[in-house]
Amino acid sequence: MSTHRIHRDGRTLTVSVGMIEVTTMGPDYEPDPLWSHIDRSGHTHMWVGGKLPTLVQRHRDWIDDDGDSRSDSWRECIECGEEVAPGYVVRAGYMAGARNFVPGLRSYELDGVPVSEEEAQRFIATLTPGTITIDEIGS
């Protein structure tokens, strides 16, 4: 939660922004420039400029035994149809356990009373620089 208090003429507008944690479930991957693979028919596969020109992406939606919809995707050799799993490496700069946040819902209080965004905007519209003070409460 990030909170700002804006004071003007004895009134206080409190703006709270809920922060939503974006959890990276695992490392972020990118194409492995060193990966190459020769399938059983002798076709060579590798990343070329971030693309896999010798493979085609396949996709299948299906319903499991519990009735949940699932989807699978995989890549196949364009020529012989053999399934090939391309090589990836952990993206440079990935940090294990890093927590990222994105702004979520905003809420507003005027003098401690919850107000709508429109009311808050009207209050903000009356503000002129130099007449207000802002406290950042932080998280």
Q: Which residues bind Zn ion (CB under 5 A)?
A: 39, 41, 43, 77, 79-80
Nearer to Zn ion, 14 or 54 (CB): 54
H or E segment at 28?
A: none
Question: Is the separation of the CB atoms in 81 and 39 below 8 Å?
Answer: no
Mapping DSSP to helix (H, G, I), strand (E, B) and coil, where does residue 120 land? helix
Query: CB 75 → Zn ion: shortest distance, Å?
Result: 11
Query: CB 34 → Zn ion: shortest distance, Å?
Result: 20
Nearer to Zn ion, 47 or 123 (CB): 47
According to DSSP, residue 67 is labeled S
Nearer to Zn ion, 6 or 39 (CB): 39
According to DSSP, residue 129 is labeled T
Query: CB 40 → Zn ion: shortest distance, Å?
Result: 7
CB-based closest residue to Zn ion: 77
The pairing of strands 11-22 and 2-8 is: antiparallel
